[in-house]
Amino acid sequence: MAERALAVNERFTYTQLDASKTGSFRILKIQPGGKEAPIVCNLVHARLDARPPYEAISYVWGSTDRPISIKCDENQLYITENLRDALVRVRLPDRPRSVWADSICIDQDNLDEKGHQVQFMGEIYSNASRVLICLGSDDEGNAQKAMSIAKDVSNMIAETLPGR
């Protein structure tokens, strides 16, 4: 797999969030690339009250048995295969994309930070310009059917709203 062959300096180390600033969090900046290109990204610190532009990703974590290596801030960062697939799907071919994905943007090995960041997750999701939902691969071809059902349900709900 291409991700395992990345030339990286060493294993990724998180820089501490500024605990004195309420609402400090990290945003993942995914560098542009095609579907087959390795994921290359940077983590940047931000504050909720500064209203930085980003999108949030909601996805199924999946198994941690076979971590995938990506390049983050020139170092090796291990993520789940499901998250890698989600990042590949949302990555843009021609420009960087700023997203928030919990398992990368929160230092999962730092229990204090993890506990603190979980308190802000609702705000992080609500301040995102949109939430991208990644349900995983569609090996059985059911995505189109699911989208059709979702559209039908949406139309039925819209028809029951007052003023229609």
pLDDT at residue 4, rounded to an integer: 41
Q: For residues 65 and 60, what is the distance between their CA atoms, to the nearest angstrom? A: 14
Task: Using the predicted structure, report yes or no on whether residue 65 has a pLDDT greater than 70.
Answer: yes
Task: Using the predicted structure, report yes or no on whether residue 47 has a pLDDT greater than 50.
Answer: yes
Cβ distance 84 to 70 under 8 Å? yes
Please compute Rg for the chain using Cα positions. Answer: 18
Structure token pair of residue 40:
């290359």
Lowest-pLDDT choice from 3-7, 47-51, 101-105, 151-155: 3-7
Structure token pair of residue 14:
């998180």
The Cβ-side half-sphere exposure at 99, using a 13 Å CA radius, reads 27
Domains of the chain, residue spans? 2-139
* Higher-scoring residue by pLDDT: 16, 138: 16
Q: For residues 45 and 50, what is the distance between their CA atoms, to the nearest angstrom? A: 11
pLDDT at residue 164, rounded to an integer: 58
Task: Using the predicted structure, report yes or no on whether residue 74 has a pLDDT greater than 60.
Answer: yes
Lowest-pLDDT choice from 40-54, 81-95, 123-137: 123-137
> Considering the entire predicted model, what is its pTM?
0.79
pLDDT at residue 143, rounded to an integer: 72
pLDDT in tens, 8-43: 456 899 999 987 777 899 999 999 999 899 999 999
Task: Using the predicted structure, report yes or no on whether residue 6 has a pLDDT greater than 70.
Answer: no
pLDDT in tens, 106-126: 999 999 999 999 998 999 999
pLDDT in tens, 85-98: 999 999 999 999 99
Report DSSP state, residue 39.
Answer: P
pLDDT at residue 1, rounded to an integer: 40
Q: For residues 161 and 95, what is the distance between their CA atoms, to the nearest angstrom? A: 40
| pLDDT interval class at 138 (50, 70, 90) | low
